[in-house]
Structure 1
Amino acid sequence: MRAPRVPAVTGSDDSSEAGVVTEVHAPLPDTRSAALTEADP
């Protein structure tokens, strides 16, 4: 479900790279958001 979201934002560059970036970018923002929320209650 997150894969189709990256290609739309990147446009039409590389489907292969988009898939890899999604897996690496998805966990990063999720962990950062949680840490920021806990630090800023």
Structure 2
Amino acid sequence: LQQVGNTPTRIGDLWIETGKRKECAYTWDMNRNTNVFLSI
């Protein structure tokens, strides 16, 4: 993102904003990911 000018200042990463908990780092954990239906 930095190469293309970064993201607008009002847009942030929710994972970073909430403390970067390691157990929440990866969205491909199908046991925890409740939005799996969006990728079908």
Give me the TM-score of the superposition, normalised by structure 1: 0.24
Q: Name whichever structure is richer in helix by fraction.
A: 1
Give the number of the structure with larger relative contact order, counting CA–CA contacts within 8 Å between residues 6 or more apart: 1
